[in-house]
Amino acid sequence: MPLYDKKQIGANIKKARMNKSAQLGFGYTRKLLADAMEEPAHIITKLEAGEYYPDYEHIKKISEICGVSIKFLVGEEFESMESYFQAIRAATKNQKKNPPRKHCIDSDFY
């Protein structure tokens, strides 16, 4: 099975966090996950939103903390950071790069 896209990975990270909530019997918040990972909470928000592919260390930590496999999170089991990054490069090599547009006050793009 190929590497999931970043939105699916984000949804799976959220599912893993919800699974942890069910195991603990209380809401395992983004803040709690971020604290366990020693990261700021906004990182978890961005990961769950699928804004970018998480790095290998984040995937490993989320997997360990939430008690799910790396395969559950990203679609494949990776043994190394390099194999994970190769899969990301392969998955994204044909995607268009669309830079975000800035809006002027009168709604014209610049």
* Per-residue pLDDT tens digits for 58-76: 999 999 999 999 999 999 8
**So what's the pLDDT on residue 32?**
97
- pLDDT category at 94 given cuts 50, 70, 90 is low
User: Can you list the alpha helix ranges (DSSP code H) found in the chain?
Assistant: 6-24, 30-37, 41-49, 56-66, 70-74, 81-92
Distance CA 50, CA 71 (A): 17
Taking alpha carbons only, the member of 24, 31, 14 closest to residue 73 is 14
**So what's the pLDDT on residue 95?**
66
Query: What's the whole-number average pLDDT of the chain?
Result: 85
**So what's the pLDDT on residue 22?**
94
CATH 1.10.260.40, domain 6-92, yes or no: yes
> pTM to 2 decimals?
0.81
**So what's the pLDDT on residue 105?**
36
User: Can you tell me the mean pLDDT for 75-99?
Assistant: 80
**So what's the pLDDT on residue 62?**
97
**So what's the pLDDT on residue 110?**
32
